[in-house]
Structure 1
Amino acid sequence: MKFMLTYEGPLATNGRPSQKHDIRLALHPQLRELWQHKPLAQFYDMGGPNVSTVGGYDFCSVVHPRWNFRAHLEILMLRPEAPGGVVKPRGDIDNRLKTLFDALTRPTQPQDIPSGWTPGDDQKPLHCLLDDDSLITGFTVRTDRLLAAPTQSHMKLVIGVEVENTAAFGGLAVLG
């Protein structure tokens, strides 16, 4: 299964839990919509989505070990700088990627959820891409300039996701 996610907004180096959660909230509507279409819609017949409760809140992840799913990511990172510089001595892109990977992953501890956040009715559960960032099998990053960015930390990301099933048995081959 292949699909694209987009995000536009701040992407901090060494992002705080609230910054990572803001990215989760921005991606949630796209991932919630994804569950309405094949092949994911078929998984409701196999026990429903993968919901985990953390800090009293429900989170649903697409890429989950329950179904032997793994993901490969192709990331186009548009930023207010010249293309290149994927790894800089000051840790710009590599730390931003760590923030992104954490934001793509459901929280695992209550401290990963900002205090005071209450999910809206359409955020029960909050949809995330990954159950754990160890389910990323690989990634590529391409950078280019984002023109007219309002701040230096403002990015536009286009994230190509390819989900693969690592199981060798029948029922999960619907991802094909």
Structure 2
Amino acid sequence: MRFRLFYEGDLLSSANKSKRPAHKHDIRRAFHKQLQELWRVDGNLRDWVDRVDNNDVPKFQGIADRYGKWGHRWVPLVDDVHSTHCSLDVLMLRPGRVGGLIVETDIDNRLKTLFDALQIPTSQSQLEPPTSDEDPFFVLLENDSLISSVSVTTDRLLATERYIRNDIPDKLTLSRDQSANRDHVVLIISVAIHAAKTTTDNLHLIG
């Protein structure tokens, strides 16, 4: 199975501990809505929404019951139970010049934030109760160890109106580069799901 996830907004370094848990969950919520739609429109996944198990519970609800924690019921698309893993191809557009990948963007720590936002959280810290639309809560991964490979391409975000800060006092005269929000990104994430072994329970994911 192949599909794309999209995110636009701040992507903070994982070293920013004061804002990190709530920030990750904001990103997780953005992906939840897209994954929820994927389960609704993809033919193979739709079968698992409609099919029931031996307890007359829809298959995806059974997954949510299995992964209940922190007051949420999570539905990971990739998990150990189904012997699946995934590869990610990330296009990251951000303010700034071409190049400067490590120094200007702290890419490793920002990717850690992204990976954490793609998985079931590992603690309840700053985790808000689920809304009615977040029960169950759809995530890509049971845990980020199921990411088997990652490729990242960065480039300049040319739409300046998207990343120029609006909280700069008018009395300050700053250049466009000085007033840019360096945390702002546009991400297009291509996901490919693979099977460690093929079973009747994961054919809907790798077909």
Would the TM-score normalized by the shorter structure come out above 0.5? yes
> How far did 1:91 drift?
7.0
SS at match of 2:102: coil
Q: Which residue is equivalent to 2:6?
A: 6
Larger radius of gyration: 2
Indicate yes or no: 2:113 matched with 1:99: yes
Contact 2:82 2:201 survives alignment (8 Å): no
> How far did 1:172 drift?
2.6
Indicate yes or no: 2:48 matched with 1:43: yes
Q: Which residue is equivalent to 1:141?
A: 152
Counterparts in 2 of 1:100-139, with a 5 A limit? 100-111=114-125, 114-115=126-127, 117-139=128-150
> How far did 1:24 drift?
0.4
What's the Cα RMSD here?
A: 1.8
Indicate yes or no: 2:64 matched with 1:64: no
> How far did 1:27 drift?
1.2
Q: What is the distance in 1 between the residues matched to 2:192 and 2:99? A: 24
Deviation sequence 1:30-76 (CA, Å, 0-9, x none)? 00011112222223437522321222211211111111111100000
Indicate yes or no: 2:188 matched with 1:158: yes
Q: Which residue is equivalent to 1:75?
A: 90
Q: Which residue is equivalent to 1:17?
A: 21
Q: What is the distance in 2 between the residues matched to 1:62 and 1:169? A: 15
Q: Which residue is equivalent to 2:101?
A: 86
Contact 1:86 1:94 survives alignment (8 Å): no
Q: Which residue is equivalent to 2:169?
A: none
Q: Percent identity?
A: 39
Q: Which residue is equivalent to 1:28?
A: 32
Contact 1:54 1:108 survives alignment (8 Å): no
Query: Given residue 26 of structure 1, which amino acid in structure 2 is its aligned partner?
Result: A
Q: What is the distance in 2 between the residues matched to 1:109 and 1:87? A: 29
- Structure 2 stretches lacking a partner, 5+ long: 54-58, 165-180
TM-score (norm 2): 0.76
- Structure 1 stretches lacking a partner, 5+ long: none
Query: Given residue 27 of structure 1, which amino acid in structure 2 is its aligned partner?
Result: F
Q: What is the distance in 1 between the residues matched to 2:193 and 2:9? A: 25
Query: Given residue 129 of structure 1, which amino acid in structure 2 is its aligned partner?
Result: L
Q: How has the CA–CA distance of structure 1 residues 171 and 64 changed in structure 2, closer, same or farther, with 3 Å as cutoff?
A: closer
Contact 1:74 1:140 survives alignment (8 Å): yes
Structure 1 ranges of 4+ moved more than 6 A: none
